[in-house]
Copies of this chain bind each other. A is one copy, B any other.
Amino acid sequence: MEENKQEGIVEEELDQNEAEQEPAEESNGELEQLRQEKEEINNRLLRLQADYDNFRRRTQKEKESDRKYRSQSLVEELVPVLDNFDRALQVEVDGEAAEKFAEGMKMVYQQFKAALDKEGVEEIPAVGEEFDPHLHQAIMQVEDENYDSNIVVEELQKGYRLKDRVIRPSMVKVNQ
């Protein structure tokens, strides 16, 4: 709105200048030429406007997507850390000091998971779920009467996703 107002002022000023300086100069050719020139400029204006609008829309979308998945590169680095953390915690320990140590480590692991969760990182559900090739990587097929067909019966490695994007599918055994 402000811009339109300003345009109006500039136009008015130009008006007066031209009226003062130029005498009566008329020709059909000149009129035609002016019309064409005006039309060309107008077309350029319309094209530029459309380009600009498209650029803005695209930029906005990219920005939203960049923001949504901003942690992806760090998360990809952290997934192997989670794997090893998980594995290291499986080791059995004895004795009061060692158990206290292990307890501390389990709390660190929980806190680590919570920090990732807050950023939208989740474990992919596996055991008991229907096999989904987008989420699960089938390493083996088994026959297990306790499960329906095409159901994940065991998870060999955890999978993770960042919001709706799979960072790594889980490795699973699937019932035939």
Chain A interface (Cβ within 8 Å of chain B)?
1, 3-5, 7-12, 14-15, 18-19, 22, 24-28, 30-32, 34-53, 55-56, 59, 62-63, 66-67, 70-71, 73-75, 77-78, 80-81, 84-85, 87-88, 91-95, 97-98, 100-102, 104-105, 107-108, 111-112, 115-116, 118-119
**Please, which residues of chain B bring their CB within 8 A of the CB of A38?**
15, 34, 37-38, 41
Query: In the bound complex, do residue A74 and residue B116 qualify as a contact, i.e. CB atoms below 8 Å apart?
Result: yes
Query: In the bound complex, do residue B48 and residue A45 qualify as a contact, i.e. CB atoms below 8 Å apart?
Result: yes
**Please, which residues of chain B bring their CB within 8 A of the CB of A15?**
35-36, 38-39, 42
A130 to chain B, nearest CB (A): 31
User: CA of A32 to CA of B15 in the docked complex: distance in angstroms?
Assistant: 9
Nearest neighbor of A23 in chain B, beta-carbon distance: B28
**Please, which residues of chain B bring their CB within 8 A of the CB of A48?**
45, 48-49, 52
A113 to chain B, nearest CB (A): 9
**Please, which residues of chain B bring their CB within 8 A of the CB of A36?**
11, 14-15, 18
**Leading 4 A-B pairs by shortest Cβ distance:** A98-B98, A88-B104, A77-B115, A70-B70
A25 to chain B, nearest CB (A): 7
User: CA of A97 to CA of B94 in the docked complex: distance in angstroms?
Assistant: 7
Given contacts A1-B52, A15-B38, contact A46 B81 (CB under 8 A): no
Given contacts A46-B9, A111-B80, A111-B84, contact A14 B1 (CB under 8 A): no
Nearest neighbor of A73 in chain B, beta-carbon distance: B119
Query: In the bound complex, do residue B34 and residue A35 qualify as a contact, i.e. CB atoms below 8 Å apart?
Result: yes
User: CA of A36 to CA of B7 in the docked complex: distance in angstroms?
Assistant: 12
**Please, which residues of chain B bring their CB within 8 A of the CB of A78?**
112, 115
